[in-house]
């Protein structure tokens, strides 16, 4: 499977601070690039990896130190307990969509192919598709998705146009969607607009932000003291959740301070300045240009 070269590979592996006998988790296995780099640093340690996409599992190397589960990482804690592990030393999450998914037209993640179906499911066994969202959701629900997940300023008009169009005929593929919303797309920034629109649909279909929140909360319970949580995010909604959680131990608002002005939070962010790809990495793989890496160290 043609998955992309892992983003920020050396920086994320360094951030995990891997012990040769430690227990680690790669919650977004994908092409297996990060997992292979972790395995290179293990001797008696173990690596558990998760991916909800059956296609990804074909990339798993035959290694007795590695266990790969076809599951969403929101079930991470349950699966690790099933294998007898209550604590781990490091967790890595490389969020977002791989080149494999963007390039495989029948998965519907890219707007480049007019005939591609409006699917966008990471887990092809799940029921909800982008087509169902567009054709079945009420106008107000669509508006909220476009405004909150796509940060589109004309979300109301966009939702209304989709609802008006689908009354006449279902919106089944990319071409029909783009035609339906043609007068809502700003001239000169078509690709940027459509990228945000498709991002909003993908987040809804895959419950991406709720799953990320679950991952962050589970990591507090799973990581041993001094353990590392490394997260690579690709858009501001994801990165904001991670940043706030590391800073305040919550997803919104400010944490309460004690009488000395200190905040009791589960993680200390190791890199106060977010890590981004070098120009050389972006030149080699333009799809990593928006990647942002944050490293949290479990406090106690």
How does DSSP classify residue 135?
H
Helix (H, G, I), strand (E, B) or coil at 268: strand
| Strand 267-269 to 292-298 pairing | antiparallel
Report, as an integer, the average pLDDT of 9-13: 97
Show the beta-strand stretches assigned E in the chain. 23-26, 46-50, 66-69, 88-94, 223-233, 267-269, 292-298
Helix (H, G, I), strand (E, B) or coil at 63: coil
Q: Percent of the chain, pLDDT > 70?
A: 97
- CA 218, 144, 170 angle in degrees (round to 5)? 110
Q: Superfamily for 104-206?
A: Putative methyltransferase TM0872, insert domain (1.10.150.170)
Check pLDDT > 70 for residue 139: yes
Count other Cβ atoms within 10 Å, centred on residue 179: 12
Q: Each residue of 280-290: pLDDT tens digit?
A: 999 998 889 99
Q: Each residue of 59-100: pLDDT tens digit?
A: 899 999 999 999 999 999 999 999 999 999 999 999 988 878
Count other Cβ atoms within 10 Å, centred on residue 143: 21
Check pLDDT > 80 for residue 5: no
Provide the b/e sequence for 234-261 (b: ≥16 CB within 10 Å).
bbebbbebbbbbbbebebeeeeeeeeee
Check pLDDT > 80 for residue 253: no
Check pLDDT > 80 for residue 262: no
| Strand 223-233 to 46-50 pairing | unpaired
Q: What is the mean pLDDT of the chain?
A: 94
Q: Look at residue 254 in the predicted model and tell me its pLDDT.
A: 75
List the chain domain ranges: 9-99+208-298, 104-206
Check if CATH label 3.30.70.60 holds for domain 9-99+208-298: no
At 252, is the pLDDT very low, low, confident or very high (cuts 50, 70, 90)? Answer: confident
């Amino acid at each position: 499977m043609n998955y992309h070269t892992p983003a920020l590979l050396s920086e994320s592996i360094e951030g995990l601070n891997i012990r040769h006998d430690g227990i680690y988790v790669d919650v977004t296995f994908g092409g297996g690039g990060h997992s292979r780099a972790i395995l290179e640093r293990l001797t008696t340690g173990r690596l558990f990896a998760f991916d909800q996409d059956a296609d990804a599992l074909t990339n798993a190397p035959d290694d007795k130190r590695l266990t790969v589960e076809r599951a969403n990482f929101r079930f991470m804690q349950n699966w690790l307990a099933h294998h007898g592990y209550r604590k781990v030393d490091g967790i890595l999450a490389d969020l977002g969509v791989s080149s494999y998914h963007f390039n495989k037209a029948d998965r519907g993640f890219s707007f480049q192919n007019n005939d591609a179906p409006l699917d966008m499911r990471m887990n092809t066994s799940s029921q909800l598709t982008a087509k169902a969202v567009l054709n079945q959701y009420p106008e107000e629900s669509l508006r909220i998705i476009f405004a909150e997940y796509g940060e589109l300023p004309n979300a109301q008009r966009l939702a209304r146009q989709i609802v008006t169009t689908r009354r006449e005929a279902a919106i089944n593929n990319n071409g029909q969607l783009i035609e339906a919303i043609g007068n809502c797309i700003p001239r000169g920034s078509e690709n940027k607009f459509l990228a945000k629109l498709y991002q909003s649909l993908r987040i809804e279909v895959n419950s991406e932000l709720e799953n990320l929140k679950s991952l962050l909360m589970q990591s507090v319970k799973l990581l041993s003291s001094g353990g590392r949580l490394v997260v690579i995010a690709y858009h501001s909604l994801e990165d904001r959740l991670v940043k706030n959680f590391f800073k305040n131990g919550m997803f919104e608002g400010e944490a309460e301070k004690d009488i000395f002005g200190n905040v009791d939070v589960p993680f200390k962010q190791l890199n106060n300045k977010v890590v981004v790809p070098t120009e050389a990495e972006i030149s080699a793989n333009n799809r990593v240009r928006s990647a942002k890496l944050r490293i949290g160290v479990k406090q106690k």
